[in-house]
């Protein structure tokens, strides 16, 4: 049997033909009707999923890199601030060929990075900060399929998160099963009140949900 090669992004499996030439292994696959290449893909895909993923901020854009793959997610007109300063990966999952990411994005309300700092006060929200959960769905080829931005601390949207601020810091800590944040006075399309933002690690295909607390 001639030697063949199977290539995946960032990985290459050599000498597949030599491995399949072992008649007992091939007979086992045939008896159980397991497609040969499907079995090989199942063995290779988890290794690719474990490669480190890097997130770089550029204005209101997120640049994601993994191995030799690169994709840009533009959050303009969805992220309430003028520029991101950092993005921290909270969770990542692979389900049915798609990758689901949840990031904690932080930036300025009004100050534009790269420009002189504003004068004292800087006007409305001049010294403010915008924080949001960013949910991203990537395809099997690392292409951007969908993304959702959910602010949880915002000067422009008049959102506060007392439980985070009371601890003396504002960094979200992901729990075992997901992320849950209680917020107050959610502006924009929702009426004023107390809300809960929740995201389940068991159902990563669904973006963070916002529910009004009773």
Of the ranges 49-53, 62-66, 71-75, 195-199, which one carries the lowest mean pLDDT score?
49-53
Mean pLDDT of the chain: 73
What is the tally of helices (H) and strands (E) in the chain? 4, 12
Q: What is the mean pLDDT of residues 145-149?
A: 97
pLDDT digit string (tens) for 75-123?
998 988 888 999 999 999 999 999 999 999 999 887 665 665 555 445 6
Res 159 pLDDT > 90: no
Res 45 pLDDT > 60: no
User: Residue 61's closest CA among 39, 79, 40?
Assistant: 79
Q: Does the global pTM surpass 0.85?
A: no
Higher pLDDT, 165 or 52: 52
Res 17 pLDDT > 50: no
Helix (H, G, I), strand (E, B) or coil at 17: helix
* Residue listed under structure tokens 């049915």: 96
Phi, psi of 195 (to 5 degrees): -130, 165
**CB of 62 within 8 A of CB of 81?**
no
For residue 111, give both structure tokens: 């100050």
């Amino acid at each position: 049997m001639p030697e063949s090669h199977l290539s995946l992004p960032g990985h290459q499996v050599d000498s597949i033909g030599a491995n399949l030439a072992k008649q007992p292994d091939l007979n086992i696959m045939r008896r159980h009707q397991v497609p040969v290449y499907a079995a090989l893909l199942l063995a290779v895909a988890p290794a690719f999923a474990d490669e480190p993923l890097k997130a770089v901020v550029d204005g209101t854009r997120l640049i994601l890199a993994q191995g030799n793959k690169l994709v840009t997610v533009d959050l303009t007109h969805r992220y309430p601030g003028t520029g991101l300063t950092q993005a921290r990966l909270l969770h990542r999952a692979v389900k049915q060929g798609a990758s689901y990411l949840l990031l904690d994005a932080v930036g300025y309300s009004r100050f534009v990075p790269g420009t002189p700092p504003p004068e004292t006060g800087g006007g409305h929200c001049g010294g403010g900060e915008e924080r949001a959960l960013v949910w991203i769905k990537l395809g099997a080829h690392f292409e951007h399929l969908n993304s959702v931005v959910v602010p949880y601390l915002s000067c422009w949207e008049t959102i506060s998160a007392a439980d985070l601020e009371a601890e003396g810091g504002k960094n979200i800590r992901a729990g075992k099963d997901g992320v849950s944040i209680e917020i107050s006075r959610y502006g924009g399309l929702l009426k004023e009140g107390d809300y809960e933002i929740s995201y389940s690690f068991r159902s990563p295909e669904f973006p963070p949900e916002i529910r009004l607390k009773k």
